[in-house]
Structure 1
């Protein structure tokens, strides 16, 4: 009689909500380390015995059990283990029973069936383990029932578990070591206060990057368990390699002494084809540029020249007091918007995958609004006109700027003459919100008064750009001023 196999799949949900449930960086540090532990060591040490691992990264777990009892034990115990370790996170599970022959000959179909079952389970609400009576004391930051008090602060169970990992020298640093690739990394290097991520101003950046065309490439490696496992491991290695290269190039050895410096980077998620990072705002765009380039190189190197992937990213520039949860949502939305443009047939053309690109947004107000509303209020001076100039591409793309072109143009706005150009651009933008004819007159006056070296920059910032993908007309002026502020504004010492 042929022996049965059991393909187990788990999808961990609510990761970002758990990590960003407070605006305290030390709790975010603990939360990200807890999630990293769940997705790796927690499952491996307790539930991987007697199973063959396929995928185990970024909240996605898949393995094959030979023994039904071991599989049943995982299904029964793992959700509770996860929710006790990180209250607020939920988990969806599914199992597909197959024969050895089916596993070998129809592996891709078996995985498709597992994914369908997981999607069904994700739509079933999980019972929360953090619900409490109305009359109980609650955490002031999360609103969840408090279980202890530290000084004048009430802590819920999830926050306490995060705090135990990040305070008093007890921080686990596995995620930071994976992202920075520095041996013997000290907990002293890990940023635990938001001030550690700010520099000469109060701006910080939340970066979210995600791979393009993964489904297309994945289909080539789904014919067998060994190929899929190898692909998953190599993709994870490529993502980590890209993050390490970006860190080392942007934050060089001259910038720190390992014994005392606090790195102005805090990795939140790194695995699969996903990367989420909080960092000093002035370093964010350079970091993303190197990361996208290295991600392309690393995937080609590890997966083969014909299977290389690209990625898109979103950067939310926020004040240090702005809620991190909304900042992450904005970064994810910006990443999605960059993907939409990159994947358009007119942009992608005949390329196997969409080109790498990034969108950024500097949050000006203190009110929490949706991305479309922010664009409408802050970057739409008149109907049919837009200051939302991105995305910016890693490589030359028709009708769009590259990241390098954006940075080079922005750098010209520094110095005394650059300040004159910035003042003229601001006046022109103000006039654009009132009347386009007034803006033309303002542009003509400014152009006549500017020096020869800044006329070209002013003209470039205020020249309309028509695009095939939209009926609107786009101007780069606002993005140039926003980025220049992020890079050069000084409101404090640092």
Structure 2
């Protein structure tokens, strides 16, 4: 029987959220995006406290009744979540009415959002979806114009350069804003607790929507934020296996894809809630704001702003819970589709920047770091270890506005000139969530934390170690002398315990542990002349631990 598909996909989501560079605008955009399409996960306690998603209300308006998430007689979804959906209808007339109302609604509630929307049909659900996805590729090459158009006499919004439509007053100052920013700010002002934040916790109610007035920076006055972006590993491979199966048995298309999508969405939400309850809740004072602001939680993606002292623990907890929850959620799907993975892993990037740093650049850097983790861990995939291990990478940026890790590494962390054919990089990541003995060897986060604890001992003052990191970038020969003096200082103090701890921590990370050899090593994923050291990463962890203690 002929099936009629309607396919929607929001484009450039991150740019849409961070367009103006203000947290309040990003909050409004993220709340709106989260309420667009909903997902296939079963309704939880948080869903009962908030309105239905926009798509459900549009379809309900056309049908004249509420729709069912599963087994609805008029519409089924093979994909739903993360700002996208594939809806399959029994009637072309019904699909066309939904398409018309959906387009009109988006123009009103999400001005400026770039998206693809196509209608297609086929002899079965899979054929209809494939025809629609092919049409979507063509549509991406024909972007719709942005309205209203900006002419020579048009007043422009200073933050975005688009046509201004209204003035808004913030902190006793008037500002011209465009239609997109206007909607974001109006939305952000309504809630400190919404459908998106409720998925992280139904108990924590006060989530900041303004950096200056609400975000709970630590008492030491370190106005830094951490942008975290996490993304699942292996979804592309799993979807390829699903596609092969459905080619042979098209009748399984909706059940297979919807089941997999539901399992991943549910696992991501559960992992985010676990990390929130174990890390963020204890750091939130009674009647105070949570030291975080979620921005994206859909499919296998997570983007969140965090206070730096909780960024690494939160990410670590999320990655660990994501593995556990995907194994739990995929168990049922594997009973029918045994080619699906037993569990999924994830990668994460953490960009730590000043609060005044442009959000979009910080996010791009976090995404770039996440991509670096994926690239490095993919090389670990073998016949016995079929999925890339979970890992993370972080960087504290204090100098430039570069937003691509390759550029940051080239400009900020690695000297141009080599010494005896070797250049030294002061960032050693990525780090695995779990220690592994596989090849190529990658260090584990726990091993880095051990080194950070050693460097935080009174016998190893931060000054000489920080100086050594600077010298690695400027003069490796001088850095060697400084490294030897550090060992001589420990020997002079007769601190055998610290010497042993330092030696063991370096050896666990696969580094030389002797005064006459710099604590650097070549990483298999790096250029042949590039060696790196984890000292700066360890000092960053130690710095975050200090701010955490000050906040406590």
When normalised by structure 2's length, the TM-score is 0.80
Pick the aligned partner of 1:336 from 371, 374, 381: 371
The unaligned stretches of length 5 or more in structure 2 are 39-52, 64-73, 247-251, 335-340, 512-517
The more displaced of 76-85 and 326-335 is 76-85
SS state at 1:251 partner = helix
Q: How does 1:242-321 map to 2 (within 5 A)?
A: 242-253=271-282, 255-257=284-286, 260-304=287-331, 306-321=341-356
Confirm or deny: 8 A CA contact 2:11 2:114 kept in the other structure: yes
Residues 369 and 298 from structure 1, CA distance in 2 versus in 1: closer, same or farther, beyond 3 angstroms? closer
Rounded to whole Å, the distance in 2 between the matches of 1:372 and 1:219 is 30
Structure 2 distance, partners of 1:363, 1:319, is: 8
Match of 2:58 among 34, 46, 55: 46
Question: Partner of 1:198 in structure 2?
Answer: 217
In 2 relative to 1, CA 179–131 (structure 1 residues): closer, same or farther, beyond 3 Å?
farther
**Aligned residues of 2:58 and 2:101 also touching (Cα < 8 A):** no
Counterpart of 2:181 in structure 1 is 159
Are residues 1:322 and 2:364 paired? no
Query: How many angstroms apart in 2 are the aligned matches of 1:350 and 1:391?
Result: 22
Alpha carbons of structure 1 residues 75 and 456: separation in structure 2 relative to 1, 3 Å? farther
Q: Establish whether residue 75 from structure 1 lines up as the match of residue 92 from structure 2.
A: no
Q: Where does residue 143 of structure 2 map in the other structure?
A: 125
Contact preservation (8 Å) 2:454, 2:502: no
Partner Cα distance (2:11, 2:285) in 1: 36
Q: Deviations over 1:143-191 (max 9, x none)?
A: 2222222231222211211111222x445610000122x15x54xx020
Please give the alpha-carbon distance, in whole angstroms, between the structure 1 residues aligned to 2:7 and 2:544: 43
The aligned counterpart of 2:536 is 478
- Equivalent of 2:386, from 334, 352, 370? 352
Normalised by the size of structure 1, how large is the TM-score? 0.89
TM superposition shift of 1:493: 7.9
**Does the 8 Å CA contact 2:121/2:129 hold for their aligned counterparts?**
no
Kindly state the Cα deviation for residue 431 of structure 1 after the two structures are TM-superposed.
2.6
**CA–CA distance in 1 between the matches of 2:450 and 2:148?**
50
- 5+ residue gaps, structure 1, are none
1:466 aligns with 2:522: yes
Partners of 2:451 and 2:266 in 1: CA distance: 34
In structure 1, what is the equivalent of residue 449 of structure 2? 407
2:433 maps to which residue? Answer: 394
Task: Give the drift of 1:6.
Answer: 0.8
- Give distance in 2, aligned partners of 1:492 and 1:22: 32
Q: Offset at 1:227?
A: 2.2
Would you say the 8 A contact 1:207–1:316 is kept in 2?
yes
Shift of 1:115: 2.8
Greater shift in the superposed pair: 149-158 or 282-291: 149-158
Distance 1:253 1:449 in 2: 39
The structure-2 alpha-carbon separation of the partners of 1:254 and 1:113, relative to structure 1 and needing over 3 Å to count, comes to same
Instruction: Give the Cα–Cα distance (whole angstroms) in 2 for the partners of residues 171 and 378 of structure 1.
Output: 37
Distance 1:491 1:21 in 2: 34
Is the 8 Å Cα contact of residues 267 and 326 (structure 2) preserved in structure 1? yes
User: 1:197·1:279 contact (CA, 8 Å) conserved in 2?
Assistant: no
Q: Distance in 2 between matches of 1:413 and 1:467?
A: 22
Distance 1:212 1:170, change over 3 A: closer
1:397-444 CA-partner distances (Å, limit 9, x unpaired): 3432212222232233335334x1x22222222332333332222211
State which of 469, 483, 487 in structure 2 corresponds to 1:429. Answer: 469
Q: For residues 121 and 424 of structure 2, what CA distance do their matches in structure 1 show?
A: 57
Q: Is the 1:356–1:395 contact (alpha carbons within 8 Å) kept by the matching residues of 2?
A: yes
Match of 2:11 among 10, 13, 18: 13
Hey, what does 2:79 align to over in structure 1? 55
Which of the residues 157, 178, 186 maps onto 2:199? Answer: 178
Q: Give the whole-Å Cα distance in 2 for the aligned partners of 1:485 and 1:134.
A: 51
SS of 1:358's partner is strand
CA contact (8 A) 2:275 2:318 kept: yes
